[in-house]
């Protein structure tokens, strides 16, 4: 489980570099989510390693060193995200709401345009069918009509 926690930590770091560094602001939310997933897995790993599980006889202190470094790095990312970028739960929620409203408006406009185009297509197809039927009936009536001598 510690391997998964490390993987999520690395992914959170990469997303944080992109998101908080201004390269791609869409990664900011992803970085925060991945950080919390990492933190949860990390805490679970520490709890399971502390209260159970087999320990190797030659196991060194590298796990504790990594845990300390990871904890310090995680806290640093959290502090940076909340302080330097003015991130708060209210602001994040407001940004999510704004994005959801923009997405809904965009979808509504797209559906409206699609409906208008579908209506125009049906009208045009109906007019063409009527015109073709009229021309066909005219040709048929010319063929069937007896010649007058």
What pLDDT is attached to residue 70? 77
What pLDDT is attached to residue 105? 87
Token pair in block for residue 120:
């125009």
Residue 97 lies in a domain: yes
Rounded Cα distance between 84 and 132, Å, is 69
Rounded Cα distance between 122 and 32, Å, is 48
Contact 14, 6 (CB under 8 A): no
pLDDT at residue 129 greater than cutoff 80: yes
The DSSP call for residue 52 is: S
Residue 149 lies in a domain: no
Residues 97 and 114 in one domain: yes
What pLDDT is attached to residue 91? 72
Per-residue pLDDT tens over the stretch 10-20: 776 776 666 66
Residue 98 lies in a domain: yes
Residues 3 and 43 in one domain: yes
Contact 40, 1 (CB under 8 A): no
Residue whose C-alpha is closest to residue 78's, from 23, 21, 128, 31 = 31
Q: Provide the pLDDT confidence category of residue 123 given band limits of 50, 70 and 90.
A: very high
Percentage with pLDDT > 70 across the chain: 55
What pLDDT is attached to residue 116? 92
Residues 65 and 136 in one domain: no
The DSSP call for residue 61 is: S
Residues of the domain holding 109? 88-144
Q: Provide the pLDDT confidence category of residue 99 given band limits of 50, 70 and 90.
A: confident
What pLDDT is attached to residue 106? 86
Q: State the average pLDDT over residues 130-144.
A: 87
Residues 46 and 99 in one domain: no
Is pTM beyond 0.75? Reply is no
Q: Provide the pLDDT confidence category of residue 25 given band limits of 50, 70 and 90.
A: low
Q: Provide the domain count of the chain.
A: 2
Pick the range with the lowest mean pLDDT from 12-26, 35-49, 106-120: 12-26
Residue whose C-alpha is closest to residue 75's, from 119, 39, 117 = 39
Rounded Cα distance between 37 and 4, Å, is 10
């Amino acid at each position: 489980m510690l391997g998964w926690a490390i993987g999520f930590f690395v992914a959170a770091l990469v997303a944080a570099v992109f998101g908080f560094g201004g390269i791609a602001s869409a990664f900011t939310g992803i970085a925060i989510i991945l950080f919390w997933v990492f933190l949860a897995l990390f805490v679970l790993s520490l709890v399971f390693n502390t209260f159970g599980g087999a320990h190797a006889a030659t196991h060194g202190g590298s796990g504790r060193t990594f845990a300390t470094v990871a904890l310090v790095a995680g806290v640093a990312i959290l502090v940076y995200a909340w302080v330097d970028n003015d991130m708060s739960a209210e602001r994040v929620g407001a940004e999510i709401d704004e994005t959801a409203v923009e997405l809904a408006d965009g979808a509504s406009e797209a559906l409206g345009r699609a409906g208008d185009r579908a209506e125009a297509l049906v009208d045009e197809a109906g007019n063409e069918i009527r015109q073709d039927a009229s021309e066909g009936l005219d040709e048929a009536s010319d063929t069937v009509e007896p010649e007058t001598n």
